[in-house]
Structure 1
Amino acid sequence: MVLALQIVLVISSILMTLFVLLHRGKGGGLSSLFGGGVQSNLSGSTVVEKNLDRFTIFTGLVWIVCIIALNMVQAYAV
């Protein structure tokens, strides 16, 4: 069970990183520094952005549940 939780944790961590990097920058941060601010008005669909938000939130919840479950297994292991 611990191994399965660790595998799910690693996969969800990689997916979280990819999903966060796929998000469009909203502010004047690093994304607009390299020309992302000019392209942000021209690209992206609202449906795609909403789905990406949903996938990111779901992956984050899976990540948090895996961390809590691994902590519980470690705390109550005899």
Structure 2
Amino acid sequence: MIVGISIALIVSSALMILFVLLHKGKGGGLSDLFGGGFSSSFGGSSVVERNLDRLTIITGVVWFVCIIALGLLLRP
């Protein structure tokens, strides 16, 4: 059981990183440094942005649940 939750944590962490990096940059900070102009051609549709937001939130909740479950299972 601990191994399954650990694998889910690793997968959800990788997906979280991917989904956050796929978001369109809103400001002139680091998002413009790492290809802000290139990502503007992808994020033209608001439906895509909403779905990406939903996927990011769902992945974040799964990540949080995995952290809490591992913390409870590995408690001495």
Q: TM-score, normalized by length of structure 2?
A: 0.86
Structure 1 unaligned blocks of 5 or more: none
1:48-59 aligned within 5 A:
48-59=48-59
Q: 1:10 aligns to what? A: 10
Counterpart for residue 19 of structure 1: 19
- Taking a change above 3 Å as real, the CA distance of residues 74 and 39 of structure 1, as seen in their structure-2 partners, is closer
Matched residue type, 2:46: T
- Is 1:36 equivalent to 2:36 in the alignment? yes
Root mean square deviation of aligned Cα: 1.9
Q: How far apart are residue 34 of structure 1 and its match? A: 5.3
Identity, % of aligned positions:
63
Could you tell me which runs of 5 or more consecutive residues in structure 2 were left unpaired when the two chains were aligned. Answer: none
Which amino acid in the other structure matches residue 10 of structure 1?
A: I
| TM-score in terms of structure 1 length | 0.84
Distance 1:18 1:38 in 2: 16
